[in-house]
Amino acid sequence: MGPLVPDIIGNELNFVVALFVGIAFGFILEQAGFSTSKKLVGLFYGYDFTVLRVFFTGGVTAMMGVVAFAHFGLIDVNLIYINPTFIYSAIVGGVIMGLGFIIGGYCPGTSLVGAAIGKIDGWIFIAGSFLGVFIFAEGYPLFEGLFKAGFWGSPRLFETLGLSQSLYAFLLVFLAVFAFWITSLIENKVNGKPNPEFQPVKLYIGITGFALLIGLSAFILPDRKEALIDSVNDIEFIKAYTIKEMTADELAFRLIDKDKRIQIIDVRAPMEFHKFKLPKSVSLTKENLFEKDFAKLLTMNGKINIFLAENEITAKKAAVIADKLGYVDVRVLKGGLSGFRNTILNFQKPETEANRREADTFRFREKAKYLIPRLIEQNKESGAVKKTSKRVIGGC
């Protein structure tokens, strides 16, 4: 599951990735014509809308891709960098950048592209930008108030607007197509050209069709996460699903034995977990199972993941999700935690005589009744798993 940094690709290798990403970025921008200020400012005087076409197509393609990747569980959106929103400085900064754009004819990325192919104005723009950052750095005490005001966290626009993600994505695609059409009319008018007949080109229809198909699939197919969580709410389905079970006796034995392979996944509410927890247990919610952090935990080599909750069915729901997600050695505690309490922790030896095998079991349970509370006591401080992965720090 993405992002691949830092687990699959180390932080040092990431710099190599950065170099290659940069090469591709510079190459594409130059091929698109972003190395000349004439083409860039054309956007603002209506004679060349290349920037809008490239920019909007790029943004929409990437956005659809991120939606689709998240939908099919290929990327954990909780870990990617979402630019934070500081409303006032976002607007003020944007307007200053707009002014810089119209006076300078470049933006920082494109000035680099221009400079690389020998545009002297590109180099001068870069020199100017060094001064710009320097002014901000030196005047920072003065700007800090505005810079940090109006913090909204890192919301995503569909959340701010109160729309669903798919509706927002579709509105944006629609807006993009509309903008492409209207700007081509404007462009022809400004340049005094007649509007050409509509000429479909196979390649672009193919590409657009492909993009729409991916987008549409994300729109129509239920989200994998939601679908899974929905499916486990069907009690009959859960009952029929086979998950290996572990009896309370076996669990107690393995705990006393200090079996290193045991890993208890406690799906009760965190409050309950803090009040009482078994050794070697971690607290998880059903949602956590979809996160990259916990994926690491559940795929640790040779571990047996025992799901437990107050009752068996609740634990089994989470275990089914884990099983469907492809985790191995998923088990569920038979009888749930309440069963464990009855058979082990509050064990009462029956009055009636038992056969030899039962007598053994009873003897073990009496021993466990004495030992396990001590293990629980020893483990009181440990057990809580902290999230280790943080959001990637990005931005300009």
Partner 1 sequence: MKNWKTKNTNLKKKKKSEFNMKPTKYMNPYLAGFFLGLLLLLTIYITGRGLGASGAVKSGVVATVESVAPSHTESATFYKDYLNEHKEGPLKNWLVFEVIGVLIGAFLSGLISNRLNLSLEHSPKIQPRTRIIGAFIGGMLFALGAQFGRGCTSGAALSGMAVMSTGGIITMMAIFGGAYAFAYFFRKLWI
Q: Write out the binding residues for partner 1, residues 68-127 only, by CB under 8 A.
A: 69, 74-75, 77, 79-87, 89-122, 124-127
Residue 5 interacting with partner 1 (CB under 8 A): yes
- Indicate the residue type of 354: A
Binding test (CB under 8 A) with partner 1, winner from 136, 174, 237, 370: 136
Would you say 117 or 235 has its CB closer to partner 1?
A: 117
Q: Which of 10, 140, 300, 363 binds partner 1 (CB under 8 A)?
A: 140
Which residue in the set 156, 189, 244, 349 belongs to the binding site for partner 1 (CB under 8 A)?
156
How far apart are alpha carbons 262 and 273 in whole angstroms? 18
Is residue 158 involved in binding partner 1 (CB under 8 A)? Answer: yes
Of 304, 360, 372, the C-alpha closest to 333 is 304
95 or 328, CB closer to partner 1?
95
Stretch that binds partner 1, among 66-74, 251-259, 273-281, 347-355 (CB under 8 A): 66-74
Q: Which of residues 323-342 bind partner 1 (CB under 8 A)?
A: none
> Between 105 and 279, whose beta carbon lies closer to partner 1?
105
The yes or no reply on residue 145 touching partner 1 (CB under 8 A) is no
CB closer to partner 1, 31 vs 361: 31
Stretch that binds partner 1, among 36-44, 236-244, 275-283, 331-339 (CB under 8 A): 36-44
Verify binding: residue 57, partner 1, rule CB under 8 A. yes
Burial class (CB in 10 A: 0-12, 13-18, 19+), 293: middle
For partner 1, give the closer residue by CB, 27 or 370.
Answer: 27
CA–CA separation, 164 and 174 (whole Å): 15
Q: CB of 221: closest distance to partner 1 in angstroms?
A: 19
Among 15, 193, 236, 302, binds partner 1 (CB under 8 A): 15
269 lies in the site for partner 1, by CB under 8 A: no
Total site size for partner 1, rule CB under 8 A? 140
Q: Cα 365 from chain centroid?
A: 45
Q: How far is the CB of 349 from partner 1 (least distance, A)?
A: 57
Distance CA 267, CA 245 (A): 16
* Coil, helix or strand at residue 380: coil
β-strand partners of 333: 246
Check: CB of residue 111 under 8 Å from CB of residue 30: no
DSSP state of 384: P
Distances (CA, A) of 265 to 69, 238, 260: 27, 18, 14
Q: How many angstroms separate the CA atoms of 92 and 87, rounded?
A: 9
Report yes or no: 118 and 51 within 8 Å, Cβ to Cβ. no
